[in-house]
Amino acid sequence: MSTDNEIAWNQNNYLALLNRYGNPTDIVGKIKENPKWRLHPFYKYMSDINGKSVVHLMGSNGIKGIAMALLGGNVTVVDFSKENERFAMELAEAADVSLNYVVEDILRVQDKLPGESADIVLMELGVLHYFIDLIPLASVISKLLKAGGTFILHEFHPVSTKLITSAGKKHKVTGNYFEPSIKEGNVAFTKHMPTEEQSSLTKVYQRQWTLGEIITSFAREGLYVEILEEEPNHKLHDIGLPKTFTMVARKR
């Protein structure tokens, strides 16, 4: 799974990023206007990150990493996509900030980063489904954090990813919330690639988790869960349904 997913995320993703966001210089100008907005809604749990060591696991294209660097954070992004690294480093150069980008599977990143050195470890949006076991991930995070350090997870709510499908005003319970199977799907940037190339892209493999499985996995590795905020969907026809959640945990 990991090998196939790594291949999928290294197949011309740079072009997809340019198609989606445009020139890195233009993007940086927008980030600088309001870097805190790029970190919504979880920035309120980071407080002042100036001078703090922040590790963004599976930090993708670096946009949020640049926002944190502009706010004074000493930021390291870990991701196994060289295409993402290329885009992120161009952003860093345009923003004139320092960004450490480590191209590695995050389950093996401990050999490249000092242990118990991070004030904050961040993961966000569409990342947990790439793991078939959350315990090794939680262990890596715990070992990266200083005592008293904070882990922030901002993720899509399992109700919206595992259970409910919606089309306009209609919502249907079409999934099984407790289904543990691994499923094949399109890599996230597929829609930003030329139509003629979309069918040739390597697929990714994903395993969706329940909220209970997520919280239990991190708690078992010594990460004390202080906050679980479930965030609503703000689309008119989806009012009342959870869209995302933010979990804040502290290393004891």
Write out the DSSP string of 18-71. HHHH--HHHHHHHHHH-GGGGGTTTGGGT---TT-EEEEET-TTSHHHHHHHHT
Residue closest to 198 by CA, chosen among 188, 206, 208: 188
Q: Could you tell me the pTM of the whole model? A: 0.92
Domains of the chain: 2-251 (3.40.50.150)
C-beta of residue 69 within 8 angstroms of C-beta of residue 96: no
pLDDT digits (tens, 9 = 90+) for 135-184: 999 999 999 999 999 999 999 999 988 888 776 667 778 889 999 999 98
Pairing of β 182-185 and β 170-173: unpaired
The confidence score (pLDDT) of residue 169 equals: 67
The confidence score (pLDDT) of residue 34 equals: 96
Side chain identity at 171, as an amino acid letter? H
Residue closest to 46 by CA, chosen among 35, 58, 61: 35
Contacts of 2 (CB under 8 A, 6+ apart): 105, 107, 130
Residue closest to 140 by CA, chosen among 109, 117, 119: 109
Per-residue confidence band for 8, with pLDDT thresholds at 50, 70 and 90: confident
pLDDT digits (tens, 9 = 90+) for 21-33: 998 988 999 999 9
The confidence score (pLDDT) of residue 138 equals: 97
